[in-house]
Amino acid sequence: MPLDHLHFILEGSIDSFLIQEEQKKIIFQYQQGGILGFFPYSDNLKSVSYCQAASSLKLASYPKSKIQVLISQNPDLTKALVKILVSRTNNFTTHTLQNEKMIALGKLSAGLSHELNNPIAAIQRDTSELGRLFVGDELLDLLLGGTGLDDAQQAALHQAMNQWKKLSRPHGMKPSEIIALEKDWLEKLTSWGMKNPVEAAEVFTDSGISAEEVGYWVEKIPFEKADSWLSGIQFFLQSQALVSTIKRATERINNLIGAVKTFTHSNQESTRTPLDLSKGIENTLIILGHKLKVAKVEIAFSKPDLPVIIAGYPSELNQVWTNLIDNAIDAVAGIISPRLEIRIVPENDKVYVSISDNGAGIPAEVKARIFDPFFTTKGIGKGSGMGLDLVNQIMLKHGGKIQADSEPGNTTFLLEFPKN
């Protein structure tokens, strides 16, 4: 469309959008006080995007023929318009590049998930069958058959073994406690006549079974049969552990694929949709899980019991979470006890999300510039300066805002969203 007016938004808001793959893609929302249209000293004679009122609107519009008179009477206006023009060009370039990357990533993730779905389904199916074979009654009956116990004792041991497969080593045990427990198991298994007790001691330690309970049954089983029975119990526990490990691994792969699909939203939303803020953050933590694990970052995520729903663009908000959390991980690199704290707090007609880290903090002399396009505090090759600028633009598009508060040992980015 031709640019023949300069518009000042006095009330309301305007959506700026592109048409991509026959879908409307909103790239920015101009709020009250925003300026758009023809800019003096710009080479653009036509708009690169479309505009549509997002609410009841009141504009002050100046035709191109009168703008020269306007700026000659208001010298400060010229400086402000040039600054806006440069910033908007950078923002549009940043947003376009990021959007193209997300579309490409979305197509890649869709193809990857399609290729992985069948193998994962086969693994899950076969794992369930292995679980049935290894921890079913048939295996327990075989283990009981060689014990020499009478029917009543076999029934009691069968019941005990059914309970053993549900146990596991208590979480939170110290390494010294685990070593001591394994040593105790080694001594007991050796005294019970087991021929290869070293590996078995590790298996029994991880099982969470009481040594006293196993010893009770060993005393009832003939000594010459104890080694065979204990070896069978070792196999029984190891097979149970392996099946559980495979199940957890396939669940993690499924969760990761789901997180990537949700994160990218390959269809690229054209309109705002209701979304749960916590789900987007949780998916981002899954995506960045490896980096968090390598950095040994402790995570505290506080959120209300009920979902906090806002209207927005999920894939774009995922870019917000990714940039802020990734920056926080970099900020705590190399410090003792790195920590990341995320909080979601609804308050009246607003929702606040805070992301805090205990890193070195943002230097006071650059704090005012962190949201500027292409400004970065990271070393050469480590930061593009596009992340926080993009975060700021996405927040504005959602009718929200972001601010940073930083001191050594505590940096917090506070994001404010309208509930509706």
One digit per residue, pLDDT tens: the chain, 420 residues? 456 787 888 888 888 777 766 677 776 777 777 777 777 666 655 666 788 888 788 888 878 777 777 777 777 776 777 676 666 666 565 556 656 665 666 666 667 666 777 787 788 788 778 777 766 667 777 788 878 888 899 899 988 888 888 888 887 788 889 999 999 999 999 999 999 899 999 999 998 999 999 999 999 999 899 899 999 899 888 888 888 878 877 877 777 676 666 655 544 555 788 999 998 899 888 888 889 988 999 999 999 999 999 998 887 898 899 889 999 999 998 899 999 999 999 998 899 999 999 998 988 888 888 887 655 665 544 544 457 888 888 898 888 999 999 999 999 999 999 986
Question: Residue 383: which of 356, 410, 362 has the closest Cα?
Answer: 362
Contact 194, 231 (CB under 8 A): yes
pLDDT (0 to 100) of residue 78? 67
Question: Nearest-CA neighbor of 280 among 330, 355, 361, 331?
Answer: 355
Domain boundaries along the sequence of the chain: 5-73, 132-251, 269-418
Q: Domain 5-73, what architecture?
A: Sandwich (2.60)
pLDDT of residue 60: 84
Q: The whole model's pTM is what?
A: 0.52
Residue-level pLDDT at 267:
45
The pLDDT of residue 384: 43
Q: Which two tokens stand for residue 6?
A: 């300069």
pLDDT at residue 87, as a whole number? 64
Please enumerate in sequence order all residues whose Cβ is within 8 A of that of 216, keeping only pairs 6 or more positions apart, or say none: none
Task: For residue 304, give the nearest of 334, 340, 345 by alpha carbon.
Answer: 345
Q: At a CB cut-off of 8 Å and minimum separation 6, what does 368 contact?
A: none
Q: Which CATH superfamily is domain 269-418 in?
A: Histidine kinase-like ATPase, C-terminal domain (3.30.565.10)
**234-253: b or e for each residue (b if 16 or more CB lie within 10 Å)?**
bebbbbbeebeebbeebeee
Residue 87 tokens, joined: 């910033």
Q: Does residue 94 contact residue 390 with C-beta atoms inside 8 Å?
A: yes
CB 14 within 8 A of CB 54: yes
Long-range CB pairs of 154-159 (<8 Å, 24+ gap) are: 157/217
Q: H-type helices in 192-267, by residue range? A: 197-207, 211-220, 223-264
Give the pLDDT score at 244: 81
What are the CB-based long-range contacts (under 8 Å, 24+) for 381-385? 382/330
Residue pair 148/221 in contact (Cβ under 8 Å)? The answer is: yes
The CA-CA-CA angle for residues 349, 355, 359, to 5°, reads: 155
